[in-house]
């Protein structure tokens, strides 16, 4: 991934699908990745992923998501009642998949079999 690269996701939540387009704002190899929504459902979305070495074969990944939902006061209520919890669950599920993948690699699996998670 490089600065300026763009990608599109089809996001589906509560039965509603929408394409969301992102642009990579910053890449610091082995340290950080920042991407921003350029088109989509959010009023604002900036996702920063920070990677910090923590001993041999261990990396701490920190996700910082700066976002705003549309719809003013209704958006704030939806964020408090639903979205923030849903976002946390999505990030935790992604972490579990990454841990499973990399533990398999660390235990001697080949890349192709570990990538099928």
What digits encode the pLDDT tens for the residues 43-65? Answer: 999 999 999 998 887 888 899 99
39 DSSP β-pair partners: 21
Q: Give residue 50's Cα distance to chain centre.
A: 11
| Alpha carbon distance 66, 61 (integer Å) | 16
Q: What is the DSSP letter of 83?
A: I
pTM of the model: 0.77
Q: How many CA atoms lie within 13 A of 3 on its CB side?
A: 6
Q: What is the Cα–Cα distance from 45 to 88, expressed in whole angstroms?
A: 15
Q: Which two tokens stand for residue 48?
A: 């920063």
**Tens digit of each residue's pLDDT (9 = 90 or more) over 1-37:** 899 999 999 988 778 899 999 999 999 998 999 999 9
């Amino acid at each position: 991934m490089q600065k300026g690269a763009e990608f599109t996701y089809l996001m589906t939540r509560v039965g509603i699908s929408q394409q969301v387009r992102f642009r990579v704002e910053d890449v610091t190899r082995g340290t950080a990745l920042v991407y921003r929504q350029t088109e989509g459902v959010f009023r604002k979305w900036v996702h920063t992923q920070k990677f910090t070495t923590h001993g041999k074969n261990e990396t701490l990944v920190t996700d910082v998501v700066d976002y705003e939902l549309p719809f003013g006061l209704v958006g704030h209520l939806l964020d408090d009642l639903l979205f923030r919890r849903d976002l946390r669950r999505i990030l935790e599920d992604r972490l579990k998949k990454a841990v499973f993948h990399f533990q398999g690699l660390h235990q001697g699996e080949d890349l192709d079999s570990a990538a099928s998670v």
